Copies of this chain bind each other. A is one copy, B any other.
């Protein structure tokens, strides 16, 4: 499999995982009907990549010009809609599909940015944007504070995965092993963070500041 084909396959697996995740969220958070479930699945799956392509200026986004994206995203949402009794057997299906999408997109997003001519620093950032964007749109649409702001380690694993992917590519590492190492590190850090409740320090606010008047 050529590097380009590998990238396309991983990207579509990520689309599928995020579509599953968005559709399961739609059923759980808002008890939406079939069209709402598909709509939220598609936005979650394609939103991060579309945001990356807009910021790269490579328009129209791949998810609009290549029909496989919309097809795979719709399939993922329909699998979640009809298959959720089976999915229950997997423990924590939302969590796992979200982590899979995050890990795949930070790798593919940074590779696509490099291919489009971005520098290494921008590629890391755009990889993280691809990974985080879809879930953030999902959370805004169902009116939750986005996971990236609250969910323990979420942006940091995406930045780690993208950094490994970009640095490994510079050092000449091979496609599939590098993708596994980068995506695996992202997934491991995300899941370990959730398992052990890792989070960064919080500011100790003096209560008086909390009800300061006139804040815009």
Q: B-contacting residues of A (Cβ < 8 Å)?
A: 21, 25-28, 30-37, 39-40, 50, 54-57, 59-61, 64-65, 67, 70, 81-82, 84-85, 88, 92, 94-95, 98-99, 118-119, 121-122, 125-126, 135-136, 140-156, 194, 199-203, 205-206, 208-210, 212-216
Contacts and interface: CB of A to CB of B under 8 A. Distances in A.
Task: Give me the 7 closest cross-chain CB pairs, A-B, nearest first.
Answer: A57-B59, A34-B200, A36-B149, A33-B200, A94-B215, A98-B216, A33-B199
B200 A35 contact: yes
Given A21-B216, A65-B119, 4 more contacts: A35-B199, A136-B141, A143-B143, A194-B216
A105 B98 CA distance: 33
Q: Give the number of copies in the complex.
A: 3
Contacts of A154: 35, 216
Nearest to A153: B35
Contact of A30 (B94, B125, B145, B212): B145
B216 A99 contact: yes
Contacts of A148: 36, 39
